[in-house]
Amino acid sequence: MSLSKNLEYLRKSKKMSQEDLAFKLGVSRQAVSKWESGAAYPETEKIIAICKLFDCSLDELMKDDIAELREDEKRRYTFNDLIEEVSSLLQKTVDIFNQMDRKTRFRFFFELVVACIVIFFVVKIPFNYIASLGYNVFFAIGGDTAQVLRAIWRFLVDITYVITSLLIFISVYEAKFLNIGNFSKKSTQTQIEGEKEEKEEGNKEEKIVRHDFGVFSFLGKVFVFCLKVFVAFLSLFILFYMLVAVAGLVIVISWMFEGVFLFSLVLFALSFILLSTIIIYVIYNFIVNRRSKWKKVFTFLLISFIGLGVSMGVGAIEMKEFTFTSSPRQDIVLDKKSETFEMTDSLIIENYGYEIVYIEDEKMQDMVRVEVAYYDGFEDVEIVQNGNSIFINSRQENFSIPKIYEMLIKDLKEKEIHVDYRYLSDLYVTVYTSKENIEKIQNNIEQLHHLIIE
């Protein structure tokens, strides 16, 4: 491509007239017209100015076909193109295979199988190590959630391993067995080169060469469709966790107005949101067959990973200032409620998981007083009698999330984290009556348990 054609293409792509270009370069319109017709060449100073004006290099302007280069940049390379390239690769393999004799075919298959085994075995080693690192993390988490994450992690690692191994194998196969042509006769190589030249000529008019390899092309398209459906389903989980991270970021920022600043959590949430956004961007482009801007993708991925690493390091430093305890908070006071009932020989105090403490009080020969200590605001207690049974009903209808949140803020301010809040729903039952009555109540309870067991 000559300078004249490149200059004309660049000018028209910017929707500039010859007069506009001449004005920007400080020359006449006739000079620009001569440059584009090839009747004259611009001076070196003007050539440099043209390169700056149209954002191109000197080699591109003087030697390359800029129109073709710009079209290549705009061209979308999708997974459908990948399937078609695989079909083309298979067609080329069949053509070469038909030119081989029996001995050459045997050698071809032998070296192909050896290469496949070596590649898949060697690539498996680093992926096994990567999988074990993930297992160690999920083992530390524990619980059913870790089991689900471990299964997803195993699936992702295996898929990545298979894809990586296939790409390496195809690259080796194409370089070793097709392009070099170790197994084909000279005539075959000459034929392939001729076909390659013809395809290059055809590519000047059409950038994407379409191949149809029958059932293989169809199966490839079905596989891509199923993969897109799975990836779209997987993206829902990523979106959910991204929303959780956004909500967490809002909460952590609100803590700043209450005197609690945790830089590690802010940085972690921002990095996780950035990572999720990049993953969603790549998934979306994959589904709609759009080309991702991989340089920016890798740049933002690197930033997000660095942010996650820094947040973990800062978090470890911040956690040194905190102490963790499972003891109850001292500022939460137990409330008490008591009821007095008439003593009967068959009286029973129902026990639903809480411990009953009996205290002798000889003044209460005919009466029984039941006292329940609980945390008001978190439990609502009612002591009732139904026949010969005394029931202690507790309800969590008044369980206060704002109070739990207030307690957490206090913990963060005091840098003392109470990790166990289950005690807020505990009941402490005390029974006051005479020694004789205590023995009767305990015997009645024991007899009832025996009847239930039988």
pLDDT of 107 reads 78
233 falls within a domain: yes
Q: Are residues 427 and 390 in the same domain?
A: yes
Q: Who's near 378: CB < 8 A, 6+ residues apart?
A: 396, 398, 399, 400, 403, 424, 425
119 falls within a domain: no
Q: Are residues 294 and 341 in the same domain?
A: no
* pLDDT range class, residue 179, cuts 50, 70, 90: low
Q: Are residues 349 and 251 in the same domain?
A: no
pLDDT of 23 above 50:
yes
Q: Which residue has the tokens 């083992």?
A: 139
189 falls within a domain: no
Overall average pLDDT of the 34-51 stretch: 86
Overall average pLDDT of the 268-272 stretch: 92
pLDDT of 159 reads 81
Overall average pLDDT of the 99-111 stretch: 78
Q: Are residues 303 and 401 in the same domain?
A: no
Q: Quickly list DSSP for 218-262.
A: HHHHHHHHHHHHHHHHHHHHHHHHHHHHHHHHHHHHHHHTTT---
CB atoms within 10 A of CB 431: 21
pLDDT of 359 reads 92
344 falls within a domain: yes
* pLDDT range class, residue 250, cuts 50, 70, 90: very high
Q: Are residues 265 and 363 in the same domain?
A: no
pLDDT of 400 reads 62
- What's the whole-number average pLDDT of the chain? 78
Q: Are residues 342 and 258 in the same domain?
A: no
187 falls within a domain: no
Q: Are residues 360 and 269 in the same domain?
A: no
324: β partners: 417
pLDDT of 217 reads 53
* pLDDT range class, residue 69, cuts 50, 70, 90: low
* pLDDT range class, residue 112, cuts 50, 70, 90: confident
Q: Are residues 349 and 317 in the same domain?
A: no
Sheet containing 380-386: order of strands: 348-349, 389-395, 380-386
Q: What is the CATH number of the domain that holds 28?
A: 1.10.260.40
63 falls within a domain: yes
* pLDDT range class, residue 369, cuts 50, 70, 90: very high
DSSP label at 65?
A: -
Burial of 399 (0-12, 13-18, 19+ CB in 10 A): middle
Overall average pLDDT of the 202-222 stretch: 47
Taking the chain, what is the end-to-end CA distance rounded to the nearest angstrom? 99
Share of the chain above pLDDT 70, in %: 80
Q: Which residue has the higher pLDDT, 36 or 222?
A: 36
pLDDT of 183 above 50:
no
Q: Are residues 294 and 344 in the same domain?
A: no
333: β partners: none
Number of structural domains the chain divides into: 3
- Beta carbons of 216 and 90 less than 8 angstroms apart: yes
Task: Kindly state the tokens that stand for 274.
Answer: 């950035």
Q: Are residues 344 and 316 in the same domain?
A: no
Overall average pLDDT of the 215-225 stretch: 60
Q: Which residue has the higher pLDDT, 62 or 243?
A: 243
Q: Are residues 314 and 354 in the same domain?
A: no
Q: Which domain holds residue 379?
A: 335-453
Q: Which residue has the higher pLDDT, 81 or 154?
A: 154
Least confident stretch, 73-82, 310-319, 404-413: 73-82
Q: Which of 297, 321, 345 is at the close of a domain?
A: 321
Task: Kindly state the tokens that stand for 339.
Answer: 């009821």
CB atoms within 10 A of CB 123: 18
* pLDDT range class, residue 145, cuts 50, 70, 90: low
SS (H, E, C) 341-392: EECCCCCEECCCCCCEEEEECCCCCCEEEEEEEECECCEEEEEEEECCEEEE
* Parallel/antiparallel/unpaired status of strands 356-360 and 428-433: parallel
* pLDDT range class, residue 154, cuts 50, 70, 90: confident
Spatial distance between the Cα atoms of 359 and 339, rounded to a whole number of angstroms: 15
Q: Which of 20, 53, 74 is at the close of a domain?
A: 74
pLDDT of 379 reads 75
Least confident stretch, 33-37, 64-68, 161-165, 448-452: 64-68
Torsion angles phi and psi, residue 338, rounded to 5: -140, 150
Q: Are residues 378 and 306 in the same domain?
A: no
Q: Which of 96-105, 198-207, 422-431 has the highest mean pLDDT?
A: 422-431
- Beta carbons of 427 and 381 less than 8 angstroms apart: yes
67 falls within a domain: yes
Per residue in 396-445, pLDDT (tens digit) is 654 566 777 788 888 888 888 877 777 777 888 999 999 898 888 888 88
pLDDT of 198 above 60:
no
Q: Which of 264, 297, 321 is at the close of a domain?
A: 321
Spatial distance between the Cα atoms of 371 and 365, rounded to a whole number of angstroms: 17
155 falls within a domain: no
